[in-house]
């Protein structure tokens, strides 16, 4: 007697899933993925060296070419200007009362004495004549900015002297910076000009000569960019 087919329990499928096969290659051959080539360590080393050389080239290009300003002074002119700044700093250091206090008279006297040394420096720089026209024009504009700052300091000293005779106990005097574009103080542009010839003109940074200091102690130190 033939065995009767047994009913499968619920959840069991009647047939197993048929196997799947990869489609045949057009030429009838079985397709195999080609093995991937591993990169040798020396290839990464060469790539890293190449990237390093590119970075060094960019830096050298900027230093030797890109950072060269047309207003940059020649060595002889820069040396003469730096010498004038150094002499001015020596005169400023020698002035008495480096931290004037009290009423406006003493503070005004200090600013005026500093202006004398700064004016002498500007007059000395005016005798320097770079050979090229663009550096000469840049130097002339820079010394003009020095004169504008000295004039502003003189105006401040005058206001300080008047403050000593004021009967108003709340009266104050504010130093007004000349501006290059109605926003930026000209001292910012003056220092940018010095950086164009750095390190030859580092002695001429406004901080080295305390140009912006009209109150409090003065500290004449070497300044670098």
Digit-coded pLDDT (tens) for 149-172: 999 999 999 999 998 888 887 788
Helix (H, G, I), strand (E, B) or coil at 89: helix
Q: Helix, strand, or coil here: 204?
A: helix
Say if residue 199 is preceded by a cis peptide, omega within 30 of 0: yes
Q: Going by C-beta distance under 8 Å and a sequence separation of 6 or more, which residues neighbour residue 101?
A: 107
Mean pLDDT of 115-135: 97
Q: Is it the case that residue 91 has pLDDT exceeding 70?
A: yes
> What is the arithmetic mean of pLDDT over 80-89?
98
User: Which residues share a beta bridge with 2?
Assistant: none
**202 neighbors 225 (Cβ within 8 angstroms):** yes
pLDDT digits (tens, 9 = 90+) for 33-66: 555 555 556 666 777 777 777 655 555 544 444 4
């Amino acid at each position: 007697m033939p065995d009767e087919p047994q009913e499968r329990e619920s959840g069991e499928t009647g047939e197993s899933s048929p196997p799947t096969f990869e489609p045949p290659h057009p030429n009838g051959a079985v397709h195999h993925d080609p093995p991937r080539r591993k990169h040798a360590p020396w290839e990464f080393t060469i790539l890293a060296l190449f990237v390093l050389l590119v970075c060094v080239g960019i830096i050298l290009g900027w230093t030797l070419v890109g950072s060269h300003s047309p207003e940059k002074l020649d060595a002889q002119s820069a040396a003469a200007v730096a010498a004038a700044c150094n002499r001015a700093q020596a005169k400023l250091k020698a002035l008495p009362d480096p931290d004037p206090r009290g009423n406006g008279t003493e503070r005004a006297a200090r600013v005026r004495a500093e202006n004398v040394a700064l004016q002498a420096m500007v007059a000395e720089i005016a005798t320097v004549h770079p050979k090229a026209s663009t550096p000469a024009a840049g130097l002339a504009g820079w010394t003009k900015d020095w004169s504008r700052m000295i004039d502003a300091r003189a105006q401040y000293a005058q206001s300080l002297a008047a403050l000593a005779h004021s009967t108003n106990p709340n009266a104050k005097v504010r130093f007004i910076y000349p501006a290059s574009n109605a926003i930026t103080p000209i001292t910012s542009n003056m220092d940018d000009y010095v950086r164009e010839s750095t390190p030859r003109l580092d002695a001429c940074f406004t901080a080295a000569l305390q140009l912006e200091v009209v109150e409090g102690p003065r500290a004449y130190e070497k300044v670098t960019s």
